[in-house]
Amino acid sequence: MDAVHVGRQPIFDAQGAVFAYELLFRGQMDAIESGRQDTYASSTVMINAFTEFGIAEVAGSRPCFINLTREFLTGRLPLPFGPEQVVLEVLETVAVDDDVIEGITSLAEAGYRIALDDFVWGSGHEQLLGLASYVKLDLLDGDLTRLDEIVAACRRHPGLQLVAERLETDEHVALADRYGMELRQGYALSRPQVLSTPSLSPSRMRRLELVAALMSPDAPLEKITSIIVSDPALALRVLRVSNSAAAGVTSKISSVRQAVMLVGLTRIRRWATLMVVDDVAEAPEEQLLTALTLARLCENLAPRFGADPGAAFISGLVTGMARLTGCTAAAMAEQLPLTADVSDALTSGTGRLGAVLNAVRAYEAGESGHEDLAVPALDAMRWSTRTLTDAHGFTPR
């Protein structure tokens, strides 16, 4: 079982309260060519924060500062989330030209807040002051001899807030106070915390198939849903995205199809594209077969108990994925925007969906009286194997 990680460093206000978090890449770069490393780091942070943890788990309702490379700023790579809970940091390594200015202007007009990271006067980034909401000033290695000039230039833009970063001594904090910098970040206040969670990555071929299907302007909803449903890890990511504040979704869901409709094909296309960019490893497909079979078995049994098949599939999927990631179904349910009947089934085993799950658990435990589930269980295994085989030639060992 692999684990994914994301770094989280608080950004404080002048009174010492946590205002926001900067999300940082934590992982291996060994397999990534040097020219792609910044873009890989940005996409990995987005995917891990929004689809592995869920942004509410990482930051609550606070804003998240995320570093962006030129590819994202100019629109060559799409941003898969809305502007509600993110601040887009323009890395100091981005060369400012007409394409970058045009891209950042479009992002600002769309409601995204912009931060200029490690701001240096004369680097070209001063052209972006009128578009920015935050300017981050390095008080450790920055050129402090021009601090008066830089602060004065920033103060000519109403509403622009200064973030004093890399504060490592009491003197740095005092300097931030002297210039009235609204926000502060650095080891003197708090070191980054690394968050980790078990992960099952969606299969590479399934991601590519999803992106290809989404490229069609009239992609059938049922086709998209079937691709997502056939890959439990992908389905779980869609559920988590539908729960993020940045997705702009507040409704509760009881099926993968409903989650797809709520998030929207445009945003799912962006997430799928980002996952293809991020992909460096194959998924553990044999592990996913178990979760997919459980979900399908619950779906097949739903009519016996008068339960909704789509909701039963979701209940089985979450149960199976919880087992693989080493947490409880109840804990996973708290991270997802599930309807009350699905949530109740997962947390307390109640209702018609709870009866479905309880019957499956009893069959798995070999309890007497549930032998008649052998046939639908075999059918579920065949369906799951066929689904994964059709997707990318998976052959169970």
> Are 186 and 224 part of one and the same domain?
no
Instruction: Give the residue from 171, 196, 221 where a domain finishes.
Output: 196
Residue 244 has pLDDT above 80, yes or no: no
Give pLDDT, residue 100.
95
Number of domains forming the structure of the chain: 2
Give pLDDT, residue 104.
96
> Are 207 and 182 part of one and the same domain?
no
> Are 185 and 206 part of one and the same domain?
no
* Mean predicted lDDT score pLDDT of the chain: 83
> Are 8 and 64 part of one and the same domain?
yes
Higher pLDDT, 101 or 238: 101
Q: Are strands 2-13 and 161-165 parallel, antiparallel or unpaired?
A: unpaired
**How sure is the predictor about 397, in pLDDT bands with cuts at 50, 70 and 90?**
very low
CATH number of the domain bearing residue 41: 3.20.20.450
Give pLDDT, residue 282.
40
Rounded CA gap, 281 and 289, in Å?
A: 18
- The answer for residues whose C-beta is within 8 angstroms of residue 92's C-beta and 6 or more apart is 117, 118, 119, 120, 123, 125
> Are 119 and 24 part of one and the same domain?
yes
Instruction: Give the residue from 196, 224, 249 where a domain finishes.
Output: 196
Q: What mean pLDDT do residues 90-115 have?
A: 94
Instruction: Give the residue from 169, 196, 223 where a domain finishes.
Output: 196
**How sure is the predictor about 250, in pLDDT bands with cuts at 50, 70 and 90?**
low
pLDDT for 292-342, tens place per residue? 789 889 999 999 999 998 888 888 888 887 887 778 888 888 877 688 898
> Are 278 and 372 part of one and the same domain?
yes
Give pLDDT, residue 180.
95
Please report the sign of the dihedral spanned by the C-alpha atoms of residue 52, residue 58, residue 62, residue 65.
Answer: negative
> Are 233 and 191 part of one and the same domain?
no
pLDDT for 34-64, tens place per residue? 666 777 778 788 877 777 777 888 888 899 9
> Are 290 and 189 part of one and the same domain?
no
> Are 17 and 111 part of one and the same domain?
yes
> Are 139 and 229 part of one and the same domain?
no
Strands (E), the chain: 2-13, 18-25, 64-68, 86-90, 113-116, 134-138, 161-165, 183-184, 193-199
What is the percentage of the chain residues whose pLDDT exceeds 70?
83
What is the percentage of the chain residues whose pLDDT exceeds 90?
36
> Are 277 and 315 part of one and the same domain?
yes
Q: Which domain holds residue 177?
A: 2-196
pLDDT for 189-237, tens place per residue? 998 998 887 765 666 556 656 765 775 667 788 888 888 887 787 888 8
Number of other residues whose CB lies within 10 A of the CB of residue 55: 26
> How many residues does this entry show for the chain?
397
Q: What mean pLDDT do residues 142-157 have?
A: 92
> Are 234 and 375 part of one and the same domain?
yes
